[in-house]
Amino acid sequence: MTKKEALYNYIIQTADNNLILGQRLSELCGHGPELEVDIGLTNIALDLIGHARSLYQYAAEIQNLGKDEDQLAFLRARHEYFNVLLVEQPNEDFAYTIARQFFFSVFNYLFYSELQNSNDSQLAAIAEKSLKEVAYHIRYSSEWMIRLGDGTDVSHKKMQVAVDDLWKYTAELYTMSEVDQLMLEEGIGIDLNKIKALYLAKVEEVMEEATLTIPTNGWTQKGGKEGQHTEHLGHILTEMQWMQRTYPNMKW
Amino acid sequence: MDNSNLHNLEEKFQAKIDAEIKIEPKDWMPEKYRKTLIRQISQHAHSEVVGMLPEGNWLTRAPSLNRKLILLAKIQDEGGHGLYLYSAAETLGISRDELVDQLLTGKAKYSSIFNYPSINWADIGAIGWLVDGAAIMNQVMLTRTSYGPYARAMVRICKEESFHQRQGYELLLTMSQGTDEQKEMVQDAFNRWWWPSLMMFGPSDKESTHSAQSMKWKIKRKSNDELRQAFVDATVPQAEFLGLTVPDDQLKWNEERNHYDFGPIDWDEFWSVVKGNGPCNRERLKARQKAHDEGAWVREAATAYAEKRRKRKAEKESTQVA
Ligand SMILES: [Fe+2]
Ligand SMILES: [Fe+2]
């Protein structure tokens, strides 16, 4: 892999994380447990897709094949999406939505905090710009983790089920892929090993306050960063790509 | 309170209205004024919330990142409008729980326009242009309504609605400059949303039961037919600019009246949708009911947690004092 290819993949991976999670949150718009939550989650979706958009624009520039942000976002094959498995997991119920958001937001915050120091000035700028919004995503999702974990017996149980189910996808967040390694060597990407301890510390802190326990079976699932996805991504793409695939080469 | 006393209060109330002094939550007001406002404001709030559904239907399929972002932001705005309006209704002494209950049991209505389906992507543009457009006609008038909290909520909402309308129109303009397939989508959407948009202004003045009193109390300042005519006059040239054919063969500029004449509205369809027999009435209410039911454990947990926190804080404070 050339440096240029690695950089493109690195930007795409980051963009895909944001887009796919934003897409998942969009499914819920208008169907939340209360109006304030509808507004809150839609706001997070807006932030994420907004960040994804800046990243796709930059990726298109690096790729330099005359493609635009939408061709990158909507017209790749399934195995060309490099998002982590966590973000494509479905909205089983509100507990899953919140656990997924919390696990991702903690990572995303640490990721952007480090990426601000990238020697790629574009990526550093995008990271810096996104960080304030991601700080709000952590606050929002932590508060719900705690409220639901330490709320009623029912909510505690549901929250624990969601955590048990989704925990296996969290290790992928801080596991270095080949692309991550190449980018680290170039001084562009971040050292995920460095944020692992911080990630676990923040998650444990919130989980403890939420009276929730972290599964200890050590089971992990990975592959998204290499384009190996769960069954869910194909369905997400079917819907997301539908207009672009059915009516190609049109302006919207 | 004896009758002469009540009569006196009513006279003073009307004098205030006539002098264009806003009525505020703590002021005395006739019971019927209060009830009319609760009905109208809550109906408006419910419309904002139910209106999120036909548009939300396209979020996951929006054809570009830019359009997806615009649509997300619009729907988020509509949710925000719902919140301000519920708060405005609450100042009249009714709780949000009661209001939501009235929606779910069918006791309260919402704008019938949202009982029509959003079938093709151009519908998103048509909703912004026509539905938000019709809403603005009504809402600009309501920024001067006699009840203070409602008028103030409207000022903020109106600004956002006109933004939505422009974005909807711009979406259609882009498509109408595109391929034949895109142009067909635009015309198809327009054909389906045109008449329901005209119905949004409500029954004609001859049939409208609430209008006269509402005008006297300056809750309303223009009649349904006046607003509808203003909407037609403003919208037809915009449709022509998009290259659209208005689905009304009686539509014609009337030089004498200085207005467009338009064909008769199908009031049977209007009343049938109001009564629950529109294409999506059941789906819309079912979706609201489902969100409400599935969210019950979340709301209960939030309440339980808030209570726990309050207790813990009180315990901490009492040990500190001791
Ligand atoms: Fe609105
Ligand atoms: Fe609007």
| CB proximity list for A110: less than 8 A, separation 6 or greater | A195, A198, A199, A202
Give the model's confidence band at B54: pLDDT under 50 very low, under 70 low, under 90 confident, else very high.
very high
Tell me the C-alpha distance between B35 and B27, whole Å: 15
Ligand minimally distant from the alpha carbon of residue B83 = 1
Ligand minimally distant from the alpha carbon of residue B154 = 1
Q: How far is the CA of B132 from the centre of ligand 1 (A)?
A: 7
Cα A145 off chain centre by: 18
Q: Tell me what pLDDT residue B5 has.
A: 87
B133 to each of B265, B284, B286, how far by Cα in Å?
A: 18, 22, 27
Q: What integer is the mean pLDDT of A14-29?
A: 98
pLDDT over 80 at A42, yes or no: yes
Which residues of chain A are within 8 Å of residue B66 when distances are taken between CB atoms? 53, 252
Q: Tell me what pLDDT residue B211 has.
A: 77
Q: Give the chain B residue nearest A25 (alpha carbons).
A: B60
Q: Tell me what pLDDT residue B318 has.
A: 87
Give the model's confidence band at B1: pLDDT under 50 very low, under 70 low, under 90 confident, else very high.
low
SS3 labels along chain B: CCHHHHHHHHHHHHHHHHCCCCECCCCCCCHHHHHHHHHHHHHHHHHHHHCHHHHHCCHHHCCCHHHHHHHHHHHHHHHHHHHHHHHHHHCCCCCHHHHHHHHHCCCCCCCHHHHCCCCCCHHHHHHHHHHHHHHHHHHHHHCCCCEHHHHHHHHHHHHHHHHHHHHHHHHHHHHHCCCHHHHHHHHHHHHHHHHHHHHCCCCCCCCCCCHHHHHHCCCCCCCHHHHHHHHHHHHHHHHHHCCCCCCCCCCEEECCCCEEECCCCCHHHHHHHHHHHCCCHHHHHHHHHHHHHHCHHHHHHHHHHHHHHHHHHHHHHHHHHC
> Cβ A251–B178 below 8 Å, yes or no?
yes
Question: Could you report the per-residue pLDDT of A174-206, keeping only the tens digit for each?
Answer: 999 999 999 999 999 999 999 999 999 999 999
The CATH number given to A3-246 is 1.20.1260.10
Could you count the other beta carbons within 10 Å of the beta carbon of residue A18?
A: 26
Question: Could you report the per-residue pLDDT of B219-235, keeping only the tens digit for each?
Answer: 988 999 999 999 999 99
Give the model's confidence band at B67: pLDDT under 50 very low, under 70 low, under 90 confident, else very high.
very high
Question: Could you report the per-residue pLDDT of B126-174, keeping only the tens digit for each?
Answer: 999 999 999 999 999 999 999 999 999 999 999 999 999 999 999 999 9
Q: Tell me what pLDDT residue A66 has.
A: 96
Q: Please provide the size of chain A in residues.
A: 252
Q: Does A93 touch chain B (CB under 8 A)?
A: yes
Q: Tell me what pLDDT residue B322 has.
A: 63
Domain residue limits, chain A: 3-246
Query: What residues does B252 pair with on adjacent strands?
Result: B261
Give the model's confidence band at A218: pLDDT under 50 very low, under 70 low, under 90 confident, else very high.
confident
Question: Could you report the per-residue pLDDT of A72-122, keeping only the tens digit for each?
Answer: 999 999 999 999 999 999 999 999 999 999 999 999 999 999 999 999 999
> Cβ B65–A251 below 8 Å, yes or no?
no
How many Cβ contacts (< 8 angstroms) between chains A and B?
141
Residue in B298, B299, B307, B312 to test binding to A, most A beta-carbons within 10 Å:
B298
pTM of this structure = 0.96
Nearest to A140 by CA among A9, A3, A14, A48: A48
Token pair for A28: 């819920």
What percentage of chain B carries pLDDT values higher than 70? 98
Chain mean pLDDT for chain A:
97
pLDDT over 90 at B4, yes or no: no
